[in-house]
Structure 1
Amino acid sequence: MTFDPFFFMKGIQGKFGTSPVGQSQQHVAYLRQIQREMRVEETLHIPLTELKVVVFDLETTGFYPDQGDQIISIGAIKVKGDEIKEEETFYSLIRAEKLLSKEIVQLTGISDQQLRSAPPLSEVLFQFFQFVQDYTLVAHHANHEKSFLQYASWKLYRAPFKHRLVDMSFLYRIAEPAEKIITLEECCEHNGIPIIGRHHALNDAKMTAELWCLYVNKLKQIGCESLKDLYERYAKV
């Protein structure tokens, strides 16, 4: 996937209709209020050892939301600096509109039967944003998560996706530029983190959170103490 250290939703107005589809006005108003109150630029200057983040993962049926691929689960965990908040997690399956392929069932362990009784995306995504509030988001190879959240946020709520979304791979490219680390498995193995329950959204989020904590300290040792420092260091690479 194409690498991009920071992600912003610039607006995809006009791609859909003119009003939120089947959503309560209270939900829409609440999410828009969160977006208005967010101070994304301020997070650039907060020390990484103090930055509050939500590390998350999506399991999906494919790679292209605009071609009908869907989110089928979301998992997330909160972290402050290098401290994982073990008790502050989020996980939900999401009702699918289409039957899953055999490949997705095998990869994720999620079945059509499980998804039939799961809540719809509109409900889960609203709960997810309530959990996130104004925290910075972190994901491994985050272009995938970015595209699905952009698409869903506008389609469901007519609200642009404005959270700062940091790609975890950005951190280890700066901290260890000589290492050829690509996958989550490779990064976990490189850092001695056990790989448990791969392709379960919450398990993947927890492993990525462990990596975040490790690399916050590795980056501090080379003088990168904030997202602004990371951005400037990356610009010089």
Structure 2
Amino acid sequence: MRMNPLIQFMKQVQGKINSSVYASLQGQSSPQHVAFLRQLEKELKVEESLTVPLKDLNAVVFDLETTGFFPEQGNQILSIGAVKVKGGEVQQEETFYSLAHCMGELSPEIKELTGIDESDLQHAPQLSKVLVDFYDFARGHVLVAHHASHEKKFLQHYNWKLFRSQFKHRIVDTSFLLKIAEPEANLVRLEDCCEHCNVPVINRHHALGDAKMTAELWSVYVARVQELGIKNLREVYERLSR
């Protein structure tokens, strides 16, 4: 049975972090990283963004490149790319991009798909630092991704593995807006959605390139759902739950 999207969303944002968790870390991240995340958790007010008008909503649209689809089986994050969007306006100069140090050899398929090879990752920063830097960049913003279950799964896994911290940021899926604006559209792949909306497909399967395309897509659909009378994220989730 398909879970009601509103119920699924509310489950996503539930849960508290026990402060004693931070004391149990055993060298998985630096004390500075843990302290930063602890402060971030205090600042994170998940419910507030529900009622911010879409025209004023600050978002960070992001993408992960990974070695596969299953972090619980050892697949790793290779890179993170992100760009800020204010209301419906993409801030092309406000970007984040970093490779992440990765153990082991990459498959030929991943190297061909992403253009990343082992030499690129040899001197890249550790994932713990990349995540902390990314969260700092995204501070105070709603996270947005295209078909976000992939990104959410990896961030949940590595937040716990590296920091013993639950991942509590909201991630809004671009497909939520697409389903409202064009319920009959059978679009799944990012490039198909972009072509449908006349967004140029540039640097596909590069984390920052995909983030920028997703941001343009988000901008298009934020405008379209507002034309349908939807004013904020709460109304987005209410519409999906019907």
Same-fold status (TM-score > 0.5): yes
* Percentage of matched positions with identical amino acids: 53
Q: Structure 1: which 5+ residue stretches go unaligned?
A: none
Give how far 1:11 is off.
7.1
User: Which deviates the most, 110-119 or 53-62?
Assistant: 110-119
Matches within 5 A, 1:1-237: 6=9, 7-8=12-13, 10=15, 18-236=24-242
Deviation at 1:107, TM superposition (A): 0.5
Give the AA of the match of 2:58. K
- How far apart are 1:173 and its partner, in Å? 0.7
Checking the alignment, whether the CA contact within 8 Å between 2:33 and 2:128 is kept in structure 1 is no
Counterpart CA distance in 2 for 1:211 and 1:175 is 12
CA distance in 2: counterparts of 1:76 and 1:20, whole angstroms: 30
Q: Give the whole-Å Cα distance in 1 for the aligned partners of 2:219 and 2:225.
A: 10
Q: CA RMSD in A?
A: 1.9
SS across alignment from 1:86: strand
Give the drift of 1:134.
2.5
Structure 1 residue 43 displacement after superposition: 0.6
Contact 1:34/1:134, CA 8 A, preserved across alignment = no
The Cα offsets for residues 98-132 of structure 1, whole Å up to 9 and x where unpaired, read as 11000000100101111112111011111111111
Q: Unpaired segments of 5 or more residues in structure 2?
A: none
- Runs ≥4 residues deviating over 4 A: 2-5, 9-13
Question: Any idea what SS the aligned residue of 2:241 has?
Answer: helix
1:59, 1:36 → 2: CA distance? 29
Aligned residue for 1:49, secondary structure, equals helix
CA positional deviation for 1:9: 6.7
How far 1:37 sits from its partner (Å)? Answer: 1.5
Count, aligned residues? 232
Change in CA separation of 1:160 and 1:166 when aligned onto 2, cut-off 3 Å: same
In the TM superposition, residue 20 of structure 1 has moved relative to its aligned partner by 4.8
State TM-score, norm by structure 1.
Answer: 0.93
Q: How does the TM-score come out when normalised to structure 2?
A: 0.91
